[in-house]
Structure 1
Amino acid sequence: MSESTPPPTVGELLCFDLYSTSRAVTAFYRPMLERTGLTYPQFLVLTLLWEQDKQTMGALAQRLDLEYNTVSPLVKRMVKAGLVTRVANPADERSVLVELTDEGTKLRWVSHEMTGQLGTALGMTDDEIAVLRKMLNRVRSGALE
């Protein structure tokens, strides 16, 4: 591109489309999460634990693509709220396992409600959502890492 070529507008930037879409989805989920007292990152941690309970802090950080020092205070707040517990890992005394409490397990309904409502709000079929997710995964796992 030459200097005489105007730069792309915000509306032409894929990065802006991805950013604004992420914010819109998070805003869509906010009212449902507020009813439960959860934040979106807490919901994501619970979702990982609903998939497989008793995960290490390191595994949670890796799956969420976050730094350990970001996940640690998040989990501490969840412990304080009674959603999870932190216990020593019997297989490795240097690591901590995060485990669901009964209260954390009871919130599983939130995931079903949120997933169904988002698809309906988007007016997309399950097949269309699957295609979109595949494309987003391709972007995320491409050359950006």
Structure 2
Amino acid sequence: MSDTADTADPLALEQQVCFALSVAARSVVAVYRPLLEPMGLTHPQYLVMLALWQHAPLSVRRISELLQLDPGTLSPLLKRLEAAGYLRRERDPGDERSLAVTLTPAGQALRERAEAIPPAVVERLGLPLEDLRDLHAALTRVIASVQ
């Protein structure tokens, strides 16, 4: 089959947006892995920490909303981060049904080390910053369109 036949096939693997997004997501997360391992973080844990560094304290519900993660997926992440000493989960005094998540001093200090991650990722991807900004904007539009 020729390349022109492949582009005409609506089911050609290389033409699927879902395929490109899936491979790109796995590949980019793989770039983060060696940068996060020395800090003892997985990529999903890093996303939790990003939310907390920006907005702490947060309720578990709010973290779930920000990261677009199911609370059942989020709970084990929070437990592991708490066991690592980076955060505390406590009942919100204003609403006993809600868990408030706050950073510990160790979690706050980790932010300084994490500041080296974004430029390292940009360097490892080897793409111009403007291309990455354009990609982010396009992905943000895709996310908004499916919600």
Partner of residue 30 from structure 1, selected from 33, 36, 42: 33
Q: Which residue of 2 aligns with 1:106?
A: 109
Deviation at 1:118, TM superposition (A): 1.7
Kindly tell me: are residues 59 and 124 of structure 1, through their superposed partners in 2, closer, same or farther at Cα, counting changes over 3 Å?
A: same
Which residue identity does 1:96 align to in structure 2? L
How is 1:113-128 mapped onto 2 (pairs within 5 angstroms)? 113-128=116-131
Q: How does 1:1-145 map to 2 (within 5 A)?
A: 6-142=9-145, 144-145=146-147
Q: Aligned with 1:108: secondary structure? A: helix
CA distance in 1, matches of 2:122, 2:20: 19
Query: CA-to-partner distance for each residue in 1:21-78, whole Å, 9 max, x for gaps?
Result: 1101110010111111111111110000000111000000111111111111210111
Q: Greater helix percent: which structure?
A: 2
Distance in 1 of aligned mates of 2:119 and 2:67: 22
The alpha-carbon deviation at position 112 of structure 1 amounts to 2.1
Question: Residues of 2 paired with 1:7 and 1:131: CA distance?
Answer: 26
CA distance in structure 1 between the partners assigned to 2:116 and 2:97 by the alignment:
37
TM-score by length of 2: 0.88
Question: How many Å separate the matches in 2 of 1:87 and 1:25?
Answer: 33
Alpha-carbon offset, residue 81 of structure 1: 1.0
Percent of paired sites with the same residue: 35
Instruction: State whether residues 47 and 111 of structure 1, in contact with CA within 8 Å, keep that contact through their aligned partners in structure 2.
Output: no
In 2, Cα distance between the equivalents of 1:73 and 1:25? 23
Aligned pairs, number = 140
Does the 8 Å CA contact 2:31/2:124 hold for their aligned counterparts?
no
So what's the TM-score if we normalise by structure 1? Answer: 0.89
